[in-house]
């Protein structure tokens, strides 16, 4: 296994990983928000089962 010395390739990979992590963290926060809103609506409306 050899060491990669290409600085532009390393910079590009670093930027790609950074952007990917930011997107994943942001989507996780959006998912948590959606779940919280859904739970709030379910609590306010109540649960009704059909017999």
For 10-39, how does the pLDDT look when each residue is reduced to its tens digit (9 = 90+)? 999 999 999 999 999 889 888 999 999 999
- Look at the alpha carbons of 26, 28, 32, 38 in this order and tell me if their dihedral is positive or negative: positive
Whole-structure pTM value = 0.57
| Nearest Cα to Cα of residue 15 among 27, 5, 7 | 7
Based on C-alpha coordinates, what's the Rg of the chain? 22
- pLDDT score of 48 more than 90: no
Backbone φ and ψ of 4, nearest 5°: -85, 125
């Amino acid at each position: 296994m050899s060491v990669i010395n290409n600085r532009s390739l390393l910079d590009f990979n670093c930027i790609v990983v950074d952007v990917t992590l930011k997107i994943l963290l942001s989507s996780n926060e959006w998912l948590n928000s959606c779940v919280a809103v859904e739970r709030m609506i379910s609590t306010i409306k109540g649960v009704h089962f059909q017999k």
